């Protein structure tokens, strides 16, 4: 791939990946909080506050990683863990 194309494609792919992965991790982390044995009001409030931190941390991670591949690998474990908690195992 020519250097000029790669120069423009890398930030675009990182931006798209950051938005998509941050949205999905935020969604799953907010749902995972509901599995905790708290009052529903407290769990919803905690999930909402956690969503801001998770979204920001995910976007920072994607742009901080050395490559897009390492960003994907770094988000793989938290993603699988949250999917397991939300849809299968529980806490």
pLDDT band of residue 86 (cuts 50, 70, 90) is confident
Q: What is the pTM of this model?
A: 0.84
Torsion over CA: 38, 40, 41, 45 (sign): positive
Give the pair of three-digit tokens for residue 43: 């769990």
- Residue scoring higher pLDDT (91 or 64): 64
Angle between helices 68-87 and 40-64 in degrees, nearest 10: 160
Once rounded to an integer, what is the mean pLDDT over residues 7-31?
A: 93
What is the three-state SS of 38-58? CCHHHHHHHHHHHHHHHHHHH
How many domains does the chain fold into?
Answer: 1
pLDDT tens-place string over residues 25-62: 999 999 889 888 899 899 999 999 999 999 999 999 99
Q: Which domain holds residue 40?
A: 3-87
pLDDT at 1 over 90: no
């Amino acid at each position: 791939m020519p250097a000029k194309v790669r120069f423009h494609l890398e930030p675009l792919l990182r931006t798209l990946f950051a938005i998509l992965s941050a949205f999905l991790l935020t969604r799953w982390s907010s749902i995972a909080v509901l599995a905790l044995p708290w009052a529903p009001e407290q769990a919803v409030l905690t999930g909402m506050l956690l969503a801001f931190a998770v979204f920001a941390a995910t976007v920072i991670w994607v742009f901080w990683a050395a490559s897009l591949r390492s960003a994907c690998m770094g988000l793989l474990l938290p993603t699988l863990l949250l999917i397991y908690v939300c849809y299968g195992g529980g806490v």
